[in-house]
Structure 1
Amino acid sequence: MTSTLTPPRAGRAAPARKPLAIELRRGLGPWTGAAVALTLLVTMYGKAPGWQVHWADATNMLHVAAGLLAGPLALAAGCWQGGRDRRRGTTDLWESAPRPPLRRLLVAVAPSALWPAAGVLLADAVCLLSTWPYVTAGRPYLELVAADTVAVAALGAVGHVVGRTVRWRLTAPLLGIVGYVVLGMGSYQEGTLRWLSPAGEHQFFWDRPVWWFGPVSMAWTAGLALTALLAYGLRGARLWPLTLVPAAVAVAAAGLIAGLPRDGGPWRHDPALARQVCDDGTPQVCLTAVDEGLLPEVSAALAPLNARLKGVPGAPVRWVGGPFGPAHPGDVALPSVGQDAVRGRLPHPDLYLNSAVLWLFSDTCRQGDLAGPNAERASLVNLAVTEWLAPTPEGYGPDTTAAKPYIDRLDAKSPAEQRAYLTRYLAANTCHPDEVPVP
């Protein structure tokens, strides 16, 4: 029997891996993305009670954290990544690859730009999803989240170019420190130039940015990064005038931002967020739409005070919170509920009540007021009335021992006598010690 030998089959060639995929998996890039995400999440977690109430607070906190923390980290990591081939002595090997120099540069810079941006996006997604159950109005400003992501990617790209250009090993950490200082100083500047910084802060949660601010901010930071990349990648080439295109875009974007109004910059009142929402109590309690979910708790916190002031001439007709303040006779401003709220709740209603009483009795005193022989007594009476209406929780506020005799006198009065005294007290000018009635 004869046997036939079959030739071995030719093995299938392994698919060639794309250079971009290889670059994204190697080096410092993945670690940078993880470090950026972890830094932002730890920072945000430590301040969660302050931003998990309003979309504007969450977006603003993410914006500042991305600019001041993720930005310098991306700068330093990009700089170290950019000097990798020079430290390893593989620069000539990399430049011998059969690809145009600019394409090689863009592939090399991808990890320095994309991984920090991915870390920012991950942290933003986690924080915004954790805010969603507690907000009652508005939306997250995703255009600002996108602008933050582009800014961090741009800083990573600029750091990469610096790392390729400067041959000093300490350049990376020093660049990160300088970036932190410059970004921090820029965010605290007065005037509209502060909005050029990726860390410019805004704290009014009933506002919204103008529609074009996010895209123009992206054009500003991306234009700077592309200018640096093209200036490095096209040096000595005939196409170097292309560098002027992103530079012109960046200058135009910077001009638009610098032309913003000095007061408020890109932020405007949003009527849908600032509209008043009131309960049906007497007196009414009115908050803005962004705090509508807190209205029942605020009304309950003010209920003991309203009961004591019921029927007293000069008592509030309406409690009003929000950006516009009292609009009618008898309106009394409320302290900002957003500063006391935690995750959609009012954890210390007694403390909020005490703050409301302080606002009720606050007078704009001029220089020279609260002086004279009866000044100390008037101060103690003012403190006693405040503590009698809304005792300060333990651990907060001043020592009330000296005012205790006046508090005891108020407690000893009959309801009719208490209302009569409150009528005289509300009619007095508490800035003039001689007018403050003694219980």
Structure 2
Amino acid sequence: MTATLTPPGTEPTAPVRAPSPLLTELRRGIGPWTGAAVALTLLLTMYGKAPGWQARWSDATNMLHVAAGLLGGPLALAAGCWQGGRDRRRRTLDLWESVPRPPLRRVLVAAAPSALWPAAGVLLADAVCLLATWPYVSGGRPFLELLAADVVAVGALGALGHVVGQVVRWRLTAPLLGIVGYVGLALATYTEGTARWLGPAGEHQSFWDRPVWWFAPVSMAWTAGLALAALLAYGLRPARLRTLALVPLAVAVAAAGLILRLPADQGPWRPDPALARQVCDDGTPQVCLTVLDQNLLPEVSAVLAPLNARLRGLPGAPVRWVAGPYGPTRPGDIELPDAAQDATRGRLTRPDLYLNSAVTWLFSDTCEPGDGTGPNARRASDIHLAVSEWLAPTPAGYGPDPTAAQPYIERLRARSPAEQRDYLTRYLAANGCHPDEVPVP
């Protein structure tokens, strides 16, 4: 027996542990740069459209969903394809295949950067945008399950691109795959059929809806199943084991079948009464917004206060100003413009323009074909514009030119408050679709 002697005064050294192959692969190649590129692309896109999504969770979620699928997806495809062909370009493919590990393990380890880094980039962009939205929202919640499905979808596209890069030996495959992926995802996003919900960028614009509970996990099964089937089909050896790839493929097909059974118009979205619940002030007329916009209620009430003071107590005046998906539901209800669309970071951007829009909606009648004609049609149109301008002047650069209505505006301003209220009473009682009934100031 041979004994190993340690020199006096020295401590035995612990064996050096080799780094994990997975961690080594994650640090190599363009994986980290891909994650940074995906995150930066999404953040720059979201930053440019910040006024349109920072007021509601649904807006932020929908914008992140479309940006991740339409921009992050093709980028992950192209980067994964380039990463997949790395060893062939470096002529180290034989060395990599000589590593004493099962072929499938080698493929999974090699594909990890292509899948995980783009997914991490989407996750980082989601976290930053949700934190930027949180101070300004009034109610509801972010649809985190849909964002998680986006992360899985982008990672799956990166893995699919990696397999293509290992199979196809052509340097231009990566950019072409990114272009084809973008076109295909865009077509899937803007098509009208149910198939658009298979893509990772299907857009939905209703603010008071929520997705059905099963859609996000089924979407994950659809995208992840395709990617896993491709990895198994490429990495399993011998060839007879490749039939195991049919298992995740069958899961993906079953998930796609469930998604294709959704209604083409609604998709996975359903109305949520809790989000559409109205919150009203105690004014007369009342101002009612939905839970999603209740933080804007004090400001909207203040903007409408001068108009409400003129309308208060008049026959035919509105009883409530209401906003939401259901519109007016009671006699005397008048629909309000969407306050969140005119707000930025929880504040109305143009209160004067919002007030003018509210007056326009107040006097917008639903006329039948043939109404609004006759010898007095022009005069009635000028009077309608004059009343709107008198109650809420149109800001410069917006709306029609009020020059033709200026004489009627001056007459209304010259009257006493009592005469103004008397004219408003007669104006509200008239049918605006019949020009002969519109009273002249």
TM range (shorter): over 0.9
Residue 76 in structure 1 maps to residue 78 in structure 2 = yes
Residue 324 in structure 1 maps to residue 326 in structure 2 = yes
Distance 2:281 2:14 in 1: 75
Alignment match, 2:131: 129
Counterpart secondary structure, 2:345: coil
Show the 5 A alignment for 1:227-266: 227-234=229-236, 236-266=238-268
Residue 113 in structure 1 maps to residue 115 in structure 2 = yes
Does structure 1 conserve the Cα–Cα contact (< 8 Å) formed by 2:211 and 2:268? Answer: yes
Distance 2:281 2:128 in 1: 34
Displacement, 1:237?
Answer: 2.2
Residue type of the partner of 1:258? L
Displacement, 1:328?
Answer: 1.0
Which segment drifts farther, 45-54 or 413-422?
Answer: 413-422
Counting aligned pairs with the same residue, the percent is 78
Residue type of the partner of 2:210? R
Displacement, 1:372?
Answer: 2.8
* Deviation sequence 1:83-107 (CA, Å, 0-9, x none): 1111111111111111111110000
* Deviation sequence 1:252-276 (CA, Å, 0-9, x none): 1111111112332111122221111
Residue 392 in structure 1 maps to residue 394 in structure 2 = yes
Residue 363 in structure 1 maps to residue 354 in structure 2 = no
Q: 1:366 to 1:178 in 2, by over 3 A?
A: farther
Which segment drifts farther, 387-396 or 293-302?
Answer: 387-396
Alignment match, 2:345: 343
Residue type of the partner of 1:349? P
Alignment counterpart, residue 66 of structure 2, candidates 64, 67, 82: 64
Alignment match, 1:144: 146
Distance 2:37 2:9 in 1: 54
Which segment drifts farther, 278-287 or 415-424?
Answer: 415-424
Displacement, 1:425?
Answer: 1.6
Residue type of the partner of 1:299? S
Distance 2:94 2:402 in 1: 77
Alignment counterpart, residue 188 of structure 1, candidates 190, 209, 227: 190
Distance 1:15 1:340 in 2: 60
Distance 2:292 2:12 in 1: 69
Distance 1:221 1:423 in 2: 62
Displacement, 1:190?
Answer: 1.1
Displacement, 1:365?
Answer: 2.5
Distance 2:331 2:299 in 1: 25
Alignment counterpart, residue 201 of structure 1, candidates 200, 203, 218: 203
Alignment match, 1:22: 24
Show the 5 A alignment for 1:17-56: 17-56=19-58
Show the 5 A alignment for 1:77-92: 77-92=79-94
Displacement, 1:238?
Answer: 2.3
Counterpart secondary structure, 1:139: coil
Displacement, 1:18?
Answer: 1.1
Alignment counterpart, residue 353 of structure 1, candidates 341, 352, 355: 355
Alignment match, 2:4: none
Q: 1:425 to 1:95 in 2, by over 3 A?
A: same
Distance 2:261 2:204 in 1: 18
Alignment counterpart, residue 226 of structure 2, candidates 218, 224, 240: 224
TM-score (norm 1): 0.96
Distance 1:191 1:358 in 2: 36
Alignment match, 1:299: 301
Distance 1:405 1:285 in 2: 32
Residue type of the partner of 2:163? V
Alignment match, 2:411: 409
Does structure 1 conserve the Cα–Cα contact (< 8 Å) formed by 2:386 and 2:408? Answer: yes
Distance 1:8 1:235 in 2: 49
Does structure 1 conserve the Cα–Cα contact (< 8 Å) formed by 2:103 and 2:237? Answer: no
Displacement, 1:236?
Answer: 4.9
Counterpart secondary structure, 1:403: helix
Displacement, 1:136?
Answer: 1.7
* Deviation sequence 1:98-156 (CA, Å, 0-9, x none): 11111100000000000000000001001101111111211111101100000000000
Residue type of the partner of 1:293? N
Alignment counterpart, residue 314 of structure 1, candidates 295, 302, 316: 316
Alignment match, 1:281: 283
* Deviation sequence 1:146-186 (CA, Å, 0-9, x none): 00000000000011111111111111111111111111111
Counterpart secondary structure, 1:277: strand
Displacement, 1:68?
Answer: 0.7
Residue type of the partner of 2:369? Q
| Runs of at least 5 residues in structure 1 that lack an aligned partner in the other structure | none
Show the 5 A alignment for 1:150-165: 150-165=152-167
Displacement, 1:241?
Answer: 1.5
Alignment match, 2:103: 101
Counterpart secondary structure, 1:239: helix
* Deviation sequence 1:72-91 (CA, Å, 0-9, x none): 10011001111111111111
Q: How many residues align?
A: 436
Counterpart secondary structure, 2:239: coil
Which segment drifts farther, 103-112 or 341-350?
Answer: 341-350
Residue type of the partner of 2:308? N
Which segment drifts farther, 327-336 or 10-19?
Answer: 10-19
Q: 1:419 to 1:21 in 2, by over 3 A?
A: same
Distance 2:236 2:377 in 1: 76
Residue type of the partner of 2:364? S
Residue type of the partner of 1:35? A
Counterpart secondary structure, 1:420: helix
Does structure 1 conserve the Cα–Cα contact (< 8 Å) formed by 2:39 and 2:121? Answer: yes
Distance 1:282 1:375 in 2: 33
Which segment drifts farther, 153-162 or 345-354?
Answer: 345-354
Displacement, 1:371?
Answer: 2.7
Displacement, 1:7?
Answer: 9.7
Displacement, 1:348?
Answer: 1.5
Distance 1:411 1:210 in 2: 55
* Deviation sequence 1:307-363 (CA, Å, 0-9, x none): 111222110011111111111111111111121121111121111111111111112
Distance 1:23 1:189 in 2: 39
